[in-house]
């Protein structure tokens, strides 16, 4: 629920703007057609509602956009765990094989084939069947 909140705030702001503009315009027209208020007041209510909903949506969108940018910046600045450090300490790297998807102990592998050179974290069975080389 709280993951990627910036993207969600931007979506809420867009919906807020659309609903606010259509609702304010409709309110101004309906008030005039119902002969409840004079034309000038109906225009003021409709235009004022449109302006306020757009300003509110811009503020919420700005907060969401700022949060999304900070989240991307955090992804760049916070170092990710290095899998080489696990292997250097003779600890088994456990996770999901990038070829077969099985969760087991993994090996860093270098795969050289007609697609080029690729580096993957694979299980021992995929390492043997794909004729992998040790990744250095």
Q: What does the pLDDT look like over 79-114, one tens digit per residue?
A: 655 555 544 554 567 788 888 888 888 888 888 877
What are the residue ranges spanned by the domains of the chain?
A: 5-77, 83-134
3-state secondary structure the chain: CCCCHHHHHHHHHHHHHHHHHHHHHHHHHHHHHCCCCCHHHHHHHHHHHHHHHHHHHHHHHHHHHHHHHHHHHHHHHCCCCCHHHHHHCCCCEEEECCCCCCEEEEEEEEEEECCEEEEEEECHHHHHHCCCEECC
* pLDDT of 63 higher than 80: yes
Cα–Cα distances (Å) from 111 to 1, 48, 116, 130, in that order, read 38, 64, 8, 7
pTM, full prediction: 0.54
Give the model's confidence band at 129: pLDDT under 50 very low, under 70 low, under 90 confident, else very high. confident
Q: Which residues pair with 134 in a beta bridge?
A: 109
Strand 103-113 versus strand 93-96 pairing type: antiparallel
Q: Which residues pair with 112 in a beta bridge?
A: 117
Give the model's confidence band at 14: pLDDT under 50 very low, under 70 low, under 90 confident, else very high. very high
């Amino acid at each position: 629920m709280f993951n990627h909140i910036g993207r969600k705030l931007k979506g809420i702001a867009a919906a807020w703007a659309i609903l606010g503009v259509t609702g304010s315009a409709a309110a101004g027209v309906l008030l005039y057609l119902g002969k409840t208020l004079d034309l000038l007041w109906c225009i003021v209510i409709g235009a004022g509602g449109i302006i306020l909903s757009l300003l509110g949506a811009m503020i919420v969108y700005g907060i969401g956009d700022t949060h999304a940018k900070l989240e991307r910046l955090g992804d760049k600045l916070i170092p990710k765990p290095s899998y080489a450090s696990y292997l250097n300490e003779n600890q088994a790297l456990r996770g999901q094989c990038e070829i077969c998807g099985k969760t087991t102990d993994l090996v860093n592998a270098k795969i050289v084939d007609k697609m080029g050179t690729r580096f993957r974290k694979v299980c021992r069975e995929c390492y043997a069947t794909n004729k992998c080389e040790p990744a250095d």
